[in-house]
Amino acid sequence: MAHDIRIVTETELRRAITLDLETVKVIEQAFAALSDGGVVMPPVMSMDLAAVHGEVDVKTAYIPGFDGFAIKVSPGFFDNPKLGLPSLNGLMILFSAKTGLVEAVFLDNGYLTDLRTAAAGAVAAQHLAPKVVQTAGIIGTGVQARLQARAARLVRPYDRLLIWGRDADRARTCAADLADLECDIHVVDTPENLVKASQLVITTTPAKTPVIEAKWLHPELHITAMGSDQAGKNEIDPQALVRADLYVADRAAQVEQLGELRSAIEAGIWTKGAPAELGDVIQGRARGRKNDAEITICDLTGTGVQDTAIATHVMARLAGRDVGTVITA
Amino acid sequence: MAHDIRIVTETELRRAITLDLETVKVIEQAFAALSDGGVVMPPVMSMDLAAVHGEVDVKTAYIPGFDGFAIKVSPGFFDNPKLGLPSLNGLMILFSAKTGLVEAVFLDNGYLTDLRTAAAGAVAAQHLAPKVVQTAGIIGTGVQARLQARAARLVRPYDRLLIWGRDADRARTCAADLADLECDIHVVDTPENLVKASQLVITTTPAKTPVIEAKWLHPELHITAMGSDQAGKNEIDPQALVRADLYVADRAAQVEQLGELRSAIEAGIWTKGAPAELGDVIQGRARGRKNDAEITICDLTGTGVQDTAIATHVMARLAGRDVGTVITA
């Protein structure tokens, strides 16, 4: 029973979809669905390939009402740079949620993951940052540093952007790459100065020891920590989670294992129980920011619903368009 | 960093690879590798989609020394026949074991799974069945009934084939489809008559209550049970496992959860501890059949190493050949 399968490459995907408010909306809907219940999202399948200095993660989620569900495979092979290859790559497969048939293979090398991760940052800022953000701060200088700066500006059109990274040269390159945002961009000398001057801070690092100290927290601050996605990573001083007026998770069961909350639990200082989830805040089932003065933190570890949402969204965008290669199988 | 990815359809795969002794050898090597250690094989990722009467399984395994590793996605959507579609489909993705880059996507709709499952039956017969098998018996009338009959004959060239299924018409169709084997083929009226007359029996059913009773077991009998692959399935009377001289698993940790052993453990009659694995028998680390008179049983639940082995094998077969569609991504 042959049917058509669309194969789309990274180049084709980059032309077809970018980071915009529509993408943010799609990811917001995914989190809202997660709160509604009925989502089937198995734990991440992880394969640690120590012998080849690699790892492979598989994520998926079924969301009621969505036409398809995605299965995403994300390999990370950390000796690749020696071969002139990127460490991270991978693909997403979109299946019909009605028949289980393969509908599309997105050979995105991680591009759609980058997008859906950035969009989640925008969703967090939209629902948790102070209404007016004059200064935003980005910690880190990689792909997500750039994308998170752009994503935040879609929902909080800041005038000033501060960037800090361990490597000042890379921070300057990052700032230069963001010049088209046409706002005031500065590379700052310490994360402390960045946090103290910002109303919205996004951490995008693979740090294993905190880059933000609790004592830097101040009224009218929202922090989104999106770097931690594995046990062992930790971007924010565990005391900061306790001190914040509100700490929100993308997925409570996941931040306890892979996110910032893990360190706070291990340090024995977290006594508030399971944190609220972003979807619950979106749906009004959990409280969000009460006023401008509060300090809020959102912890993003990455969820399968985001993958299913972005893949379904891409498929809808491509409908009726001659993009990719169609194979009958 | 664009690279070539080969997309191969079911039709192209059926032309390129069939069930033969080379395929059996490849699957034997996979089981041997599982015994050697160093294999990384995470538990099956399972997603139960009750709302749409579907399920999705994801399997993978890394085998030291193999050029690639496969990730296999197997959706089963059981309302599909109402739409004129098969219930089972899916695909395999082959990644480089050195760089994690996608090398091939096999849109096989389950064909490679059928092959590697049949080949495992041949491996089990080769290592556990009596040296001379005059009569083989197949219980069940589906795709695996046909393939297991062919696989068994590659390693035990029987003269007579008995077939039993709950539906006699389907059993007759199955027999007719196997006419090219050019041996004496009979549809029998009861599974009891089939077991009693055979030296090699293969069960290929989705049975939830046993189709083989312990009292039918006789000297010079090997049974391979390949139907059970989920908790709830059970093809063989648990007493038969206890009564057999030797019970071998494809993967001990898996048969306890998904195979025949689960029922024996639940019935409280299994006291022999973890069973030997097929790979250990192949490698001589566990004993196989001691003499023709013994009764042996092999329980196959399906393993990720088989998927990685068949996918790697297919890729090697296709090397230098103009098969499939090459996409640069």
DSSP state of A42: P
- Whether A109 contacts B329, CB under 8 Å: yes
Tokens of A105: 């293979």
pLDDT at A63: 96
Q: Return the number of other C-beta atoms located less than 10 Å from residue B14's C-beta.
A: 12
The verdict on B257 and B149 lying in the same domain is yes
Q: Which candidate, B205, B132, B115, B197, places its Cα nearest to that of B166?
A: B205
CB contact (8 A) between residue A91 and residue B93: yes
Three-class secondary structure of residue B305 per DSSP = helix
Residue A102: give its domain's CATH number.
Answer: 3.30.1780.10
pLDDT classification of A8: cutoffs 50, 70, 90 = very high
Distances from the Cα of B288 to the Cα of A7, A34, A200, B125, B296, angstroms: 47, 51, 66, 11, 9
Residues of A in contact with B307 (CB under 8 A): none
Pairing of the two strands A160-164 and B276-277: unpaired
Residues of A in contact with B84 (CB under 8 A): 1
Sequence-separated (6 or more) residues with CB below 8 Å from residue B215: none
Distances from the Cα of B7 to the Cα of A111, A294, B11, B15, B318, angstroms: 20, 53, 12, 14, 11
CB contact (8 A) between residue A100 and residue B64: no
Mutate to test the interface with B, among A60, A102, A325, A328 (most CBs of B within 10 A): A102
Nearest to B86 among A1, A49, A83 (CB): A1
Residues of B in contact with A56 (CB under 8 A): 60, 69, 71, 95, 100
pLDDT at A80: 94
The verdict on A86 and A139 lying in the same domain is no
pLDDT at B77: 95
Mean pLDDT of A212-239: 94
pLDDT classification of A274: cutoffs 50, 70, 90 = very high
pLDDT at A1: 61
- How far from chain centre, in Å, is Cα A191? 21
Tell whether the model's pLDDT for residue B1 goes beyond 80.
no
Q: Which residue has the tokens 């995403």?
A: A72
Instruction: Quickly list DSSP for A160-222.
Output: EEEEE-SSHHHHHHHHHHTGGG-SEEEE-S-HHHHHHH-SEEEE----SS-SB-GGG--SSEE
Q: Give yes or no for B248 touching A (CB within 8 A).
A: no
- What proportion of chain A, given as a percentage, has pLDDT over 90? 95
Backbone φ and ψ of B233, nearest 5°: -90, 150
Total domain count, chain B: 2
Between residues 66 and 85 of chain A, which touch chain B (CB distance below 8 Å)? 69, 71, 73, 75-77, 80, 83-85
pLDDT at B299: 97
pLDDT at B231: 82
Q: Which candidate, B127, B154, B314, B304, places its Cα nearest to that of B229?
A: B304
Tokens of B177: 């489809």
Q: Give yes or no for A9 touching B (CB within 8 A).
A: yes
pLDDT at B230: 81
Output the CA torsion sign for B123, B124, B127, B132: negative
Q: Which residue of A has its CA nearest to B43?
A: A45
- Residue B53 falls within a domain, yes or no? yes
The verdict on A162 and A101 lying in the same domain is no
Tell whether the model's pLDDT for residue A2 goes beyond 90.
no
The verdict on B165 and B57 lying in the same domain is no
Mean pLDDT of B246-270: 94
Residues of A in contact with B51 (CB under 8 A): 38, 64
* Strand boundaries in chain A, DSSP class E: 4-9, 45-49, 54-61, 68-77, 91-96, 102-107, 135-139, 160-164, 184-187, 200-203, 221-225, 246-249, 276-277, 295-299, 325-328
CB contact (8 A) between residue B328 and residue A9: yes
pLDDT digits (tens, 9 = 90+) for A287-313: 999 999 999 999 999 999 999 999 999
Task: Name the average pLDDT for chain B.
Answer: 96
The verdict on B255 and B314 lying in the same domain is no
Is residue B75 within a helix (H) or strand (E), and if so which, with residue range?
strand B68-77
- Nearest-CA distance from A276 to chain B in Å? 25
CB contact (8 A) between residue A101 and residue B91: no
Q: Give yes or no for A1 touching B (CB within 8 A).
A: yes
Backbone φ and ψ of A221, nearest 5°: -135, 130
pLDDT at A270: 96
pLDDT at A228: 84
Tell whether the model's pLDDT for residue B123 goes beyond 80.
yes
Tokens of B129: 């069945």
The verdict on B248 and B140 lying in the same domain is yes
pLDDT at A232: 86
- Residue B118 falls within a domain, yes or no? no
Q: Give yes or no for B45 touching A (CB within 8 A).
A: yes
The verdict on B89 and B14 lying in the same domain is yes
A/B interface, count of CB pairs below 8 Å: 136
- Residue A123 falls within a domain, yes or no? no
The verdict on B142 and B182 lying in the same domain is yes
- Residue A120 falls within a domain, yes or no? no
Mean pLDDT of B137-161: 97
- Whether B194 contacts B162, CB under 8 Å: yes
- Nearest-CA distance from A104 to chain B in Å? 11
CB contact (8 A) between residue B71 and residue A76: no
pLDDT at A229: 84
The verdict on A281 and A167 lying in the same domain is yes
Beta bridge partners of A188: none
3-state secondary structure B141-199: CCHHHHHHHHHHHHHCCCCEEEEECCCHHHHHHHHHHCHHHCCEEEECCCHHHHHHHCC
Residues of B in contact with A51 (CB under 8 A): 38, 64
Mutate to test the interface with A, among B15, B71, B106, B111 (most CBs of A within 10 A): B71
The verdict on B53 and B74 lying in the same domain is yes
CB contact (8 A) between residue A58 and residue B51: no
Q: Which candidate, B169, B134, B174, B179, places its Cα nearest to that of B152?
A: B134
- Residue B121 falls within a domain, yes or no? no
CB contact (8 A) between residue B327 and residue A9: yes
Tokens of A141: 């200088």
DSSP state of A22: H
Mean pLDDT of A15-42: 96
Residue A30 sits in which domain range? 4-113+305-328
CB contact (8 A) between residue B100 and residue A64: no
**How far is the C-alpha of B126 from the C-alpha of A242, rounded, in Å?**
63
Q: Give yes or no for B252 touching A (CB within 8 A).
A: no
Q: Which candidate, A92, A127, A129, A93, places its Cα nearest to that of A113?
A: A92
- Residue A124 falls within a domain, yes or no? no
Tell whether the model's pLDDT for residue A65 goes beyond 80.
yes
The verdict on A284 and A144 lying in the same domain is yes
CB contact (8 A) between residue B107 and residue A60: no
The complex scores an ipTM of 0.90
The verdict on B189 and B315 lying in the same domain is no
- What proportion of chain B, given as a percentage, has pLDDT over 70? 100
pLDDT digits (tens, 9 = 90+) for B204-232: 999 999 999 999 999 999 999 999 888 88
- How far from chain centre, in Å, is Cα B107? 19
pLDDT at B232: 86
Three-class secondary structure of residue A282 per DSSP = helix
Q: Give yes or no for A190 touching B (CB within 8 A).
A: no
Residue B183: give its domain's CATH number.
Answer: 3.40.50.720
The sheet with strand A54-61 has its strands ordered as A45-49, A54-61, A68-77, A91-96, A102-107, A4-9, A325-328
- Residue A243 falls within a domain, yes or no? yes
Pairing of the two strands B221-225 and B200-203: parallel
Residues of A in contact with B56 (CB under 8 A): 60, 69, 71, 95, 100
**How far is the C-alpha of A32 from the C-alpha of B86, rounded, in Å?**
33
CB contact (8 A) between residue B89 and residue A102: yes
Which burial class, exposed, middle or buried, applies to A288 when counting CB atoms under 10 A from its CB (0-12, 13-18, 19+)? Answer: middle
- Residue B295 falls within a domain, yes or no? yes
Pairing of the two strands B68-77 and B91-96: antiparallel
